[in-house]
Amino acid sequence: MTIPFSNPRLVSFCDRQAPYRGTWVIYAADGHGAFAACHELDDRGEPLRVLEERRLASTMEARRFTIHLMLHGWTPEQVNGDQGYALLGS
């Protein structure tokens, strides 16, 4: 299943202990408050691969998912705009 999403990346997360694991990125998925979470892997010289996609139906669900990532060792690496900070609970 491919989830349509828009740029820019609202929040990106990396695991600094294991950077080979790729990046989780939260995108705005539509104009109705939904989001897409994509686990991306960018190997040098290879095209960007999406390893996993999740649809997050609301800001609250996206916020819960960001907390889940942080509890599992993922660190916010890049936060864009007020909407990105809202997903972190700021």
Tens of pLDDT, residues 2-23: 555 556 789 999 988 887 789 9
- In this structure, what token pair is assigned to residue 67? 């907390």
Q: What is the pTM of this model?
A: 0.83
pLDDT digits (tens, 9 = 90+) for 53-86: 999 999 999 999 999 999 999 999 999 888 888 8
Number of domains in the chain: 1
* Residue range(s) defining the domain that contains residue 60: 11-87
In a domain, 2, yes or no: no
In a domain, 4, yes or no: no
**Omega of the bond prior to 4 within 30 degrees of 0, cis?**
no
Query: Which one has a higher pLDDT value, 44 or 63?
Result: 63
Please give the Cα distance from 11 to 76 (Å, whole number): 7
In a domain, 78, yes or no: yes
In a domain, 83, yes or no: yes
In a domain, 38, yes or no: yes
